[in-house]
Amino acid sequence: MQARERIPDTLDLTDRAKLTQHYFINNPDPSQNYRPHFGGNILAAPPYYSHSEWDFGDVSGRFVEGFILNRIMVGDGEGMDVEKGVRDFMLSLFREDGLSYRGYIKGLDPAKVGDMYLWDQGRVLYGLVTWFLKEEDARIEKYIQGMLEGLKKVTLYEDDYAYFPYEAMYEGKYVQPRYNYWGDMSQSLWAATGQPIEPLVRYYEAKGNEEALDFAGKLVRGLLKAPIHFFEPSGAFSLHKEPFHFAFHVHSHTAALIGLLRYAIVTGDEELIGLGQRAYDWIKKHSSTSFGWTCEHYPYTTLQRDHQEVCCMTDVLNLAVLLAEAGYEHYWNDVERISRNHLVESQITSTEIYEPILVTFKHEIRKIQPEQGWHSYDNILERMVGATPGSGSANELFTTGGFGASGCCSPHMNKGFYLTWSHIITRKPGRIRVNLSLNFNSPWVEVHSFRPYQGKVEVILKKEAALSVRIPDWVDKWDVKVSVNGEEAPFKWEGDYVRLEKVHKGQKVTVEYPLRKEWIREDVGTASFDFRWRGDTVIEIKPKGRIVPLYDRAHMDCDEIPFRDQPLRCAPEDFHLW
């Protein structure tokens, strides 16, 4: 088709996934059975990757999930040996009770800090369930079943709810360690009760396992009823006094909320869905933004502490996807704005990004004594390409103290790419909906987005279907024009979607509308910034960042469309796992 020869060179999330694949392949440590590195530091001579206690269940589970989701998007076999190594490493952490344990941690006494962490169990379950959804491996299902049984044995039960009183255990007993700068590791900070919920519900959806759903339901009620609970009826995070924690680790709470919301949707609990929506709106108001930046802790205290965590941003995107799929379709606007802006801006795209940091902080670079087994030093800057620092402000990629690559946030950023990409379209027999105006190719339809240069999207049908295309919330419906093969076509409104009842194979549907172009001021943490919007894309921010500034997008501020030479990669039929 002629249209295939002129594909707009606009955001293609498979390109971003390919960059993340580079990070996945080059991060793990072959000398330690492909144990991932959690952190890294470029302000050292030499720069290094570093291991930590998070390498075990948390990061290995994310990497397993990430490799699988990434390969669906990218579609090649590069780095399969590393992926297998990381999968084997994750499985090596299991013990006879069916749970995942941390290994040796330099300087930490497991009797004081624990070696079985509930947080880790959730991340490992994500890895296992994603593995099972993709490959239906009976061996992996046994691990899932083992984790379900193991978790049930360490749970406390009251009335109709269940909960984990603390985050960590050692030799079958809960411990409440004092731990580094986090202060206490209590339930109120880490929301341990919420971490296994979503993967257990997704396993139920795939296999109909009622035991998994029943246990997930008890944990959901524990989030709301346990002595240390997490969400108020208004949707606000519950704030507990000491000896618990004065602030929230936002990622822990948003991850728990994702589980609560998926459970509510699967069980058809409208009251619980309503709570999920109120909690999402509370998060957007108090700890997140229109363009994606989401703080790591709330309440924040000073501008210096107001940094984001990419894990939190992906969780907010995930919640918006769930709400949109549940029928609250206006949340697709949030998904599109997050993915077009801070999600992609948070990625390290080349080694050139590091040059201004090394110049600005050259007097802070310290020589270190190489410590083999704990650090890795080979070609670090290049190996970090595709990752995210994890922190950052509204206008800067890095924050002081965060000059490296994050082992938790990088795979979670990749999950954000996947969740957005896999929901650009949704499909039912004889019907296709285009939810997001992003480039996408599939066996049924190909989507070409002209934004942010023009308010225009082209949809080429590969099979006959009814077609619906979502219109952004800033568009006046009277300004929308629809054509088929260049001829004006009648359409109906279906909520925020234009709908054509029958589009034939090979026909090209074009939807056009004026772009919004405006400056909007928005609070980010304890500061305010001015954002220049072109459609759903931020193309400029004031004040501008000083070291590695974000939103340097002057090239997007024009009406002329750049085109790409390569075709869009076609997604496989089974691309939708989550």
Residue 508 CA to residue 113 CA, distance in Å, equals: 60
Query: How confident is the model at residue 173, as a pLDDT?
Result: 93
Long-range Cβ contact pairs of 312-315 (< 8 A, separation 24 or more): 312/250, 312/251, 312/254, 312/287, 312/288, 313/288, 313/338, 313/342, 313/343, 313/346, 313/416, 314/343, 314/412, 314/413, 314/415, 314/416, 314/419, 315/250, 315/251, 315/254, 315/255, 315/257, 315/258, 315/412
Is 90 exceeded by the pLDDT of residue 572? yes
Q: How far apart are CA 108 and CA 567, in angstroms?
A: 51
Supply the pLDDT for residue 388. Answer: 95
Predicted confidence band of residue 575 (pLDDT cuts 50, 70, 90): very high
Q: Record the pTM.
A: 0.96
Per-residue pLDDT reduced to its tens digit, 6-17: 899 999 999 999
- Residue 19 confidence class, pLDDT cut points 50, 70, 90: very high
What single-letter DSSP state applies at residue 295? B
- Percent of residues, the chain, with pLDDT higher than 90: 80
Whether the CB-CB separation of 179 and 113 falls below 8 Å is answered with yes
- The more confidently predicted of residues 297 and 151 is 151
**Tokens, residue 293:** 């930046």
The rounded mean pLDDT for the chain is 92
pLDDT for res 525 = 84
Q: pLDDT per residue over 551-566, tens digit each?
A: 999 999 999 999 999 9
What integer pLDDT is reported at residue 180 of this predicted model? 40
So what's the pLDDT on residue 238?
A: 83
- Hey, is 512 helix, strand or coil? strand
Q: Give residue 181's pLDDT band: very low, low, confident or very high (50, 70, 90).
A: very low
Lowest mean pLDDT among 22-31, 182-191, 357-366, 420-429: 182-191
What pLDDT, in 10s, does the model give residues 278-296?
A: 999 999 999 899 999 998 8
pLDDT, tens only, 73-107: 999 999 999 999 999 999 999 999 999 999 988 78
What lies within 8 Å, CB to CB, of 493 at 6+ separation is 477, 499
Instruction: For residues 355 and 371, give the distance between their C-alpha atoms in angstroms, rounded to a whole number.
Output: 25
> Which band of pLDDT confidence, cut at 50, 70 and 90, is reported for residue 246?
very low
User: What confidence category does residue 3 fall into, taking pLDDT thresholds of 50, 70 and 90?
Assistant: very low
The model's confidence at residue 189, banded by pLDDT at 50, 70 and 90, is: low
Q: Is pLDDT above 90 for 320? A: yes
Q: How many CA atoms lie within 13 A of 403 on its CB side?
A: 23
pLDDT at residue 114 is higher than 70:
yes
Task: Give the model's pLDDT for residue 240.
Answer: 65
Please write down the HEC assignment for all residues of 435-465. Answer: CCCCCEECCCEEEEECCCCCCEEEEEECCCE
